[in-house]
A and B are shown apart, each in its own frame.
Chain A
Amino acid sequence: MTNAFVWTRAAAVARKEVFHILRDPFTLTLALILPVLMVALYGVAIDFNVENVALSVSDSDQSQASRRLIETFASSRYFLVRGVGSPAEAVRDVSAERARACLIIPPRFEKDLLAGRGAEAQILLDGADNSTVGPVAGYVGSIQTLASKQIADFDPPRPYELRTRFLFNPELNSRWFVIPGLAVVVMAILSILLTALTVAREWENGSMELLLSTPVRPIEIIAGKLAPYAVIGIIAQTLVYVMARTVFGVPFVGNQAVFALGAVLCLTTYLAQGIFISVTTRKQQIAMQFAMLTGMLPSNLLSGFVFPIASMPPVFRYLTMIFPARWFMEIARDTFLKGSGFLELAAPFLALTFFCGAMVLAAARRFKRDLEP
Chain B
Amino acid sequence: MNRTLLGFIRKELIQAVRDPRMKFVLFVAPIIQMALFGVAISNEVKNIRLAAVFDSKDFVLRDVYERSIAGTWFVPAPVSGEDPFALIQAGKADAVLVPPPGGFTRALGRGDAHLQLLTDATNAVQAQAVENYLQSILRQTVRDDLGIVPPDPPIRFDVRVLFNPSLESSIFMVPGVMCMLMLMTTMVLTNIAIVREKELGTFEMLISAPVSPAEVIYGKTLPYVLIGMANLPLILSVAVFLFHVPMRGSFLVLCGASFAFVCTTVAMGTLISTFCHNQTQAVMGGFLFMFPAMMFSGLLFPIDNMPAGIRWMAALDPLAHYLGLLRNIMLKGGDARYVAFHVAVLVVMAVVSVVASFRRFRTTLQ
**Do they bind each other?**
yes
- Taking Cβ atoms with an 8 Å cutoff, the residues of A that contact B are 24, 26-27, 30-31, 33-34, 37-38, 41-42, 44-54, 69, 91-92, 94-97, 100, 113, 116, 118-135, 137-138, 140-141, 143-145, 147-148, 151-152, 154, 156, 158-170, 172-174, 176-177, 189, 193-194, 197-198, 201, 281, 283-286, 288-290, 292-293, 297, 300-302, 306-308, 310-313, 316, 319, 333-334, 337-340, 343-344
- B333 surroundings in chain A (CB, below 8 A): 95
Contact B283 A170 (CB under 8 A): no
Given the complex, which residues of A lie within 8 Å of B251, measured CB to CB?
none
A285, B279: Cβ atoms closer than 8 Å = yes
In the complex with contacts A54-B304, A124-B162, A201-B278, A167-B120 CB distance below 8 A: yes
Q: List 23 A-B contacts (CB under 8 A).
A: A30-B284, A41-B295, A45-B306, A47-B301, A48-B125, A48-B302, A97-B324, A97-B335, A120-B158, A121-B157, A123-B157, A127-B162, A129-B327, A143-B157, A154-B155, A156-B151, A167-B121, A169-B124, A169-B127, A288-B283, A308-B126, A312-B40, A338-B122
Q: Using an 8 Å CB-CB cutoff, how does the interface string of B168-211 with A read, 1 for contact, 0 for none?
A: 01011100000000001000110011001000000000000000
Q: Judging by beta carbons under 8 Å apart, are A177 and B123 in contact?
A: yes
Contact check: which of B39, B112, B122 meets A177 at CB < 8 Å?
B122
A123 to B310, CA, bound (A): 30
B89 touches A288 (CB 8 A): no
Which of chain B's residues 124-162 have a Cβ closer than 8 Å to chain A? 124-129, 131-132, 134-135, 138, 142, 148, 150-162
B14 on the interface (CB 8 Å rule)? no
Interface 1/0 per residue, B280-309 and A, CB below 8 Å: 110111011001101110111110111100
* Chain A CB within 8 A of B81 CB: no
User: Of residues 205 to 235 in B, which have CB atoms within 8 Å of A's CB atoms?
Assistant: none
Task: Give B59 Cβ to nearest chain A Cβ, in Å.
Answer: 15
**8 closest A-B pairs by CB:** A127-B164, A130-B172, A166-B121, A131-B302, A148-B153, A172-B124, A30-B284, A160-B113
| Closest CB in chain A relative to B34 CB, distance in Å | 12
Identify the stretch in B45-53, B254-262, B344-352, B353-361 within 8 Å (CB) of chain A at 4 or more residues.
B45-53
Count CB-based A-B contacts (< 8 Å).
349
Contact between chains at A95 and B332 (CB < 8 Å): yes
Q: Is the CB of B157 within 8 A of A122?
A: yes
Q: A24-B280, A169-B122 are in contact. Are A160 and B142 (CB under 8 A)?
A: yes
B42 at the interface (CB under 8 A from A): yes
Q: Which residues of B contact A132 (CB under 8 A)?
A: 302, 304
Q: Is the CB of A91 within 8 A of B138?
A: no
Q: Which residue of B lies closest to A143 (CB)?
A: B157
Q: How large is the interface on B (under 10, 10 to 19, 20 to 34, 35 or more residues)?
A: 35 or more
Q: A113-B155, A120-B156, A121-B157 are in contact. Are A156 and B196 (CB under 8 A)?
A: no
Contacts of B37 in A (CB 8 A): 297, 301
Assembled-state Cα–Cα distance A129/B302 (Å)? 9
List the A residue with the shortest CB-CB distance to B85: A167
- Complex CA distance for A46 and B91, rounded to whole angstroms: 26
User: CA–CA, A283 to B193, complex, Å?
Assistant: 12
